[in-house]
Every structure is written in C-alpha cells, then in structure tokens.
Structure 1
C-alpha cells in the first residue's frame, strides 16, 4: 500500500510522496478500464474524467455516484452526466450510475488491464479531487494505492455488487432524484437589477394570480438551427444574437434577447399595456423593471438594458450546464450557443409563467407600479 496526498501548503508533498491526482493519471496510463464509485462529483470533474478517458484511450468506464438520489444532485453536474452517459453508451464504452438504495459515501477507483483488476485507489477523495477548482483547491484529501491482486480484486467485487440493479441504476433511468438549482450569476453586478431575499420570492409565489400567461419560448430544433429564414427564429426571439450584426465588425452579444409574445397572448385581457412599466420579480430572486413594446406590444423586455432578459433566461440554461455562453457569435459558425428545442426539453421547460401578483411597489419617482412574477420552471410544476 502506498499513501497518496494532497499538495497543499503548509502540508506540501516531498520528493518521496505522490499526489492523488498524479497517481490517478499514472494508473489510467497503465489501464484499459476503470470503475469508479464515489459519494459526490462536480461538473468540472465529470468533464475532466471524460477528457482523460479519451486521452488514455480507455475501452471501458463506469462511474457510480452514491449520495445524490437522496440528497439531490446539482443541476449542472446532472445535465453534464446525462450527456456523457449518452455519449459513453452510444460509443459502447460505459455508463454513469446512481445509487438509489441508500447513501453511498465510499471513494473507490479500480483499474483494470486485459480483464483483471491491477490496482485500486481508496480513501477520502471524491471525484472532484481529479479537477481542482476554487471550491476544493484548499481541501486536503488522503488516499492509498494498492497493487496487491487480492485487494484490487476485492475492491472490484465490491463495485460490481454496488452496480447491481438492487443497489443502483443507470442515470437515464432515474426519475425521482431531486435536482438542486444553482445560482445564476449572470445578473450579478448588473445595473438596474437587484437581488431580493428568498422570503420575498416566496411571498410573491404565494400571491393569488390576478391574471397569468404562459409565454412560449420560440426556438428551432437542433436540425433547424442553421436555417436562416425568419420562421426558424434566428432573426428574433431569444436567438436574435445570431441575426445580422448591427455593424460588420461587431458581433451581437450572446445575451441579447427579444422575448416575442404571440398574438394569442398579447390580445388577452389583462396583458400589460404598451410602454407602461411594471416590476418583475423572478422565481430565482431578481428584481427589475420591464415593459411591453413594439407593434401590438408583442415585445417583452427589461427597461433600460436589452441584455437583462437574456442574462436571466440564458443564464439559467448556462448555469444548468445545458449551454455554454459564446464570446463571439460571429465566430460560432456551428451555432453551439443557439438555444434549441432539445435544450429546453433537457432543462424541463419551454415557456415562462408570467403572473400578476396583485401587489404594487413604488418606482424611484414615487409612482406605484404593478409587480409581476416571472418563472422559468418545469412545465409540470407550474401553477397558474
């Protein structure tokens, strides 16, 4: 057995000690298969694991995660895990499993070569140890490496039992695991936007809806995202950033969004009047002023900053790990940053719930404005 350490000052490693990360890489380089069972992961560590599988040319990978079925899984890690599970299964190299029978807090890494276990790492290190981030860079872990055949075989047998249907299931077959919504930071520090306490959000959620509307998000399918005739939504709505730039040299900001409301909605009684401002409180705790504009007041936008709505809406998708913000939309020729129907399906909602709360708040000049609530939640969870 060989002890493995974190390299964190003042408890740094010396020349005779190995780090957990270095040992993990070394064992991967000798193996053609790895089975991993841990309590927790992170979004970055799952992505790193996929990269290492490709780097070292492994033929098989099984990642089993033990604590999330009961405690809930961070949404970004969940969506990334779902994507990689589909990728690994499609390639025939493995899967991601979730322990469902109990909380599993073990941390085991078993390495195989030519069908037999050759080594294993065990100890305190969850998967996050293979990808250091700000959240775990100062978190000290200690583990051990065994190359004893009997010990590696025993660990392999334990993971195999854990992967039986009585203990765990493929993540795609898990339907009751709660997801933990993560904080959308895209609006942090943005002028004209303030954060409100969760107690305020809960108050407005409880308010009876004087009137409410579902605002459908019009986006193309993945197959349609390169089609530039107007009906495929590349020139308007939340993908307006892919429309022709306002100047030849300057790309549109990826967060630029036009929330276009259908005639079936803006003609309904109670829909906000054109150019009459109101306050919006979002279901994740942001507060800003908004209005309806354009012909038949079909455009729904924040007052004073055309990026606010996009930072809220697209920021939610980015925080969930479903899309990556694009720095230059002109260079995104594959339109990886274009929001599609498939992305909204993965997120669990393709519409917004817009509810008049019956409450008012004073504008900066003392004018009372209506307060509306805007929610971007699962279609099955919304209440009118």
Structure 2
C-alpha cells in the first residue's frame, strides 16, 4: 500500500514523502492492457486525455463508468466528449463508456490489469481530472493498492457495479444539461477582476496594438494536442500534450517591431487583462520572441482562447481547430494592446 497526495506547498513532498496520483497513474500505464475506471465526475478535457492514452499506448480495453452525471447532469461539452469517447471505444472494440443510473456513485476507483490479471488499483478522492494537473489547487488524497488480492477485489467491484447499475451512454436519452462553469474559475495563477478594474485597463490602452494571428496549423499553435506527445524513453509511455495547452507562433514581421515585448529582456514577462475580465501572466521567448504563451501554465492561454471557441459552439473538445472553426467563431486573431500601466497589456478576442 502506498499513500498518494497532491503535495501542494506547504504540505509538499518534502513533508509527505509520498508520490502523487497523476504520476502513479501514468507510471502504471505501460504495464496495463486493461483499464477499468469508476469515478464520480469527469471533465471534457480529461475524457479526450483518456482517449489519447488508449490510442497512444498498448491498452486493449478501457471501461469507464461515470457515477454522478446521469442524475447531476453533464455540461454539453462533457456529454459530447463522453459520447465521442464511447463511439471511439466501440468502433475499435476497446471498451465503452457507461453511466450509473439508479443512484449517484461518488467513488473514485482505478483498476489496472495485465496478462496475469488485476495487478494494481488506486482508490481515493481523485476524480478523472486528476490524471493531469488542471490548475485548481484542490488537495486530493488516494491510496495505491498493489496486493493482488486487493487489486482483484477492486476490479470485481467495478465489474459488478457495471453489470448491475449502469447502461451504455449511447442507450440513454440525455437532453438536459447544466451551465458550464468558466474554465478559468478558481484556476491557479489566474485572477478574476471586477468591472471597475477592467474599465480602468481599457481606459489606459495606448495606440500600440498588434493583431496576433491564431493559426489553425495541424500539430502546433492551438493544435499541439494532436502532435506526437511526450515520450518517456525509459518506460515507453506516450503522454499526449494537454487539450488546452497552446503556444502561439507570432510572425517575425510583428515581433521585430520596437514596442513588441522582447525575449531575454525585462519586457518578456508581463500581465494581461482580457476583454472578459481575467488577469494572468504571459511571456514571449524563442528566436525573434516568436513564442507567445501564458506563464506558469501553458493551459491558461489555451483555456481562454479554446474556451471562447467552445462556448460559441464553434469547437468541440477533442476536435482539430481548423480555419472553418475560426470562421464560425468570427475571428482568427486576438488584439494585443499596450496600456499605460507598467507591464500590463490588454487582450481582446471579442467578435466584432
């Protein structure tokens, strides 16, 4: 048995002497042929992450049981992602997505199986979003079970839950949804500002402004999720880039202009306030300051841009950002404007 903790400071790894859920989950994947998961809640991005785990590694079967959303409702993005994962698994004969229907199931159980049977399980407080760092500092605790008897008991329970209390998501009529919370709410390194501060920022805008192109390139910019992924040469694990991870490539004709922030200088790191009232830090780096990204967490800028596309109905989670997506939204640039406030810029992605 091994305890797994989030290890956020001040109760970090130096004090707990323990690993965390995500690292342990991924460390077990290279030895896993079958993955049985029963959780309370999911997120749309965790479902596309799970699909990539199956597609990029040697997992022959994934059975995902979602315990709370049938009665507590999905957001539309969550539901579409769950249906898409179910379709993929059924078409590839690799499992399915099922919902608990007679009651709310709030457990979080992850069972790992190889050719010799169930060899490990994790149980605790981590919902499916725990398979990656999602930016919300909620301290979770779990236990890894590597005793074969306990691992088999966990898998047996999940399979009994599946056979007695679930139905395939494709067999269920679901047409009521809950309103999605903003992707950046309660996100680490992100501040929600009030209307007064937003108005002050807009009033402080100068004439120095750049239209930053949002390029629909297949495996970069907004689409790094579809790239090769990160390969662990020791274990062989292939881990997809996160759905919301983005790094925009700014054309040289923009970056060479005098007022544009320059990599390697004090101007390279700066705060931005967005037209919808979020404040976070960004930076530029690379040759000719071409890489534009959010600081501390590459998902922040991605959640702001992709979240706008998703909320407008132009993009579904897990789908390629194309020129058609941007056309449907109504913009393929955002405006980056310097303000009179030191180290503060204004980002505008409104559809005009």
What is the TM-score with the length of structure 1 in the denominator?
0.49
Cα displacement (A) at 1:114: 1.1
What is the match of residue 131 of structure 1?
A: 132
- 1:116 corresponds to 2:117: yes
Cα displacement (A) at 1:182: 2.5
Q: Please list every run of 5 or more consecutive structure 1 residues that lacks an aligned counterpart in the other structure.
A: 190-310, 330-334, 340-384
Aligned partners of 2:38 and 2:59: how far apart in 1?
17
Aligned partners of 2:327 and 2:152: how far apart in 1?
47
- Relative distance call for 1:314 and 1:19 in structure 2 (3 A) is closer
- 1:11 corresponds to 2:30: no
What is the match of residue 178 of structure 1?
A: 176
What is the match of residue 292 of structure 1?
A: none
Larger Rg belongs to: 1
What is the match of residue 68 of structure 1?
A: 69
Cα displacement (A) at 1:2: 0.6
- Relative distance call for 1:19 and 1:72 in structure 2 (3 A) is same
Cα displacement (A) at 1:143: 0.3
What is the match of residue 96 of structure 2?
A: 95
- 1:141 corresponds to 2:140: yes
**8 Å Cα contact 1:97-1:168 kept in structure 2:** yes
Aligned partners of 1:82 and 1:34: how far apart in 2?
18
Aligned partners of 2:107 and 2:19: how far apart in 1?
21
Cα displacement (A) at 1:54: 2.4
Cα displacement (A) at 1:132: 1.9
Cα displacement (A) at 1:321: 3.9
**8 Å Cα contact 1:38-1:66 kept in structure 2:** yes
SS in 1 for 2:56: helix
- Relative distance call for 1:336 and 1:85 in structure 2 (3 A) is farther
SS in 2 for 1:26: helix
What is the match of residue 161 of structure 2?
A: 162
Aligned partners of 2:90 and 2:157: how far apart in 1?
23
**8 Å Cα contact 1:68-1:177 kept in structure 2:** no
- Relative distance call for 1:123 and 1:167 in structure 2 (3 A) is same
Aligned partners of 1:158 and 1:32: how far apart in 2?
19
Aligned partners of 2:310 and 2:57: how far apart in 1?
35
Q: Please list every run of 5 or more consecutive structure 2 residues that lacks an aligned counterpart in the other structure.
A: 184-192, 194-306, 329-352
- Relative distance call for 1:123 and 1:320 in structure 2 (3 A) is same
- Relative distance call for 1:319 and 1:114 in structure 2 (3 A) is same
- Relative distance call for 1:325 and 1:172 in structure 2 (3 A) is same
What is the match of residue 248 of structure 2?
A: none
What is the match of residue 303 of structure 1?
A: none
- Relative distance call for 1:315 and 1:102 in structure 2 (3 A) is closer
Cα displacement (A) at 1:178: 3.0
Aligned partners of 2:29 and 2:8: how far apart in 1?
23
SS in 2 for 1:112: strand
Q: CA RMSD in A?
A: 3.4
Residue deviations 1:337-374 (CA, integer Å, cap 9, x gap) = 677xxxxxxxxxxxxxxxxxxxxxxxxxxxxxxxxxxx
**8 Å Cα contact 1:125-1:141 kept in structure 2:** yes
| Superposed counterparts of 1:184-195, under 5 Å | none
**8 Å Cα contact 1:70-1:177 kept in structure 2:** no
What is the match of residue 381 of structure 1?
A: none
- 1:55 corresponds to 2:51: no
**8 Å Cα contact 2:45-2:318 kept in structure 1:** no
Cα displacement (A) at 1:7: 2.4
- 1:316 corresponds to 2:312: yes
Residue deviations 1:68-105 (CA, integer Å, cap 9, x gap) = 11111121111011111101110111111110010000
- Relative distance call for 1:162 and 1:45 in structure 2 (3 A) is same
What is the match of residue 34 of structure 1?
A: 35
SS in 2 for 1:111: strand
**What is the number of residues matched between the two proteins?**
212
**8 Å Cα contact 1:119-1:146 kept in structure 2:** yes
**8 Å Cα contact 1:112-1:119 kept in structure 2:** yes
Aligned partners of 2:26 and 2:308: how far apart in 1?
39
**8 Å Cα contact 1:69-1:177 kept in structure 2:** no
